[in-house]
Amino acid sequence: MNPTNPTNPMDPVNPTNGTNPVDVALRAVHDSDLPVFYRQLNDPDALRMAAFTPRDPADRDAFDARWARIRSSPEIVVRTVLVDGDVIGHAAVYGEAGEREVTYWVDRAYWGRGVATAALRGLLAEVTERPLYARVAADNTGSLRVLERCGFEVSGRATAYAPGRDAEIDELVLALDG
């Protein structure tokens, strides 16, 4: 996957494993990916940072039902994120036309290495409709940076209940226009 920023070619992102470049790829979600996603969803630090999570991430039946809905919906484009062939997260576009949003989850071990940016850029190359939107906890600077590197711009602020923090928090709304 070419990690160059399509909206700013002077802003390259070179994903690494900390020292060496890595290969970031997207593919369809396989059944064998779901246990990895479930483990990631139950990382307390990742839950807090993501903020907008399921109310009970440990509820495996709810997790399985949610992923069955996601994978069967023709309205949702969801991909597994791979680094050097290993499953490290997922990225998706969902929602009604004109209001579609992006979402992504990358294993905490890969934060700050350009992986989420490269994965989101790959998804945006596949899903070319615009506008697209994103929401992020206002204090999640890492995710905000990923979105901005992919061309999203802050278009609003809101306050919403975040189950991952069990509190009302400030969130930013971002838009990617054509």
* CA-CA-CA-CA dihedral for 139, 167, 69, 83, to nearest 10: 30
> How far, rounded to the nearest angstrom, does the alpha carbon of residue 5 sit from its chain's CA centroid?
17
Confidence of residue 20 (pLDDT cuts 50, 70, 90): low
What is the rounded distance in angstroms from the CA atom of residue 129 to the CA atom of residue 166?
A: 34
What is the rounded distance in angstroms from the CA atom of residue 1 to the CA atom of residue 121?
A: 9
Confidence of residue 18 (pLDDT cuts 50, 70, 90): low
> Model's pTM, two decimal places?
0.88
Mean pLDDT of the chain: 91
**H/E run at residue 162:** strand 153-162
Confidence of residue 16 (pLDDT cuts 50, 70, 90): low
b/e 90-123 (16+ beta carbons within 10 angstroms → b):
bbbbeeeeeebebbbbbbeebeebbbbbbbbbbb
Confidence of residue 19 (pLDDT cuts 50, 70, 90): low
What is the rounded distance in angstroms from the CA atom of residue 119 to the CA atom of residue 108?
A: 15
Judged against a pLDDT cut of 80, whether residue 3 lies above it is answered with: no
Is-contact 122 26, C-beta < 8 A? yes
Q: Of 40, 1, 10, 2, which Cα lies nearest the Cα of 149?
A: 10
Domains of the chain: 24-129 (3.40.630.30)
Angle between helices 115-126 and 141-149 (to 10 degrees): 40
What is the rounded distance in angstroms from the CA atom of residue 176 to the CA atom of residue 34?
A: 29
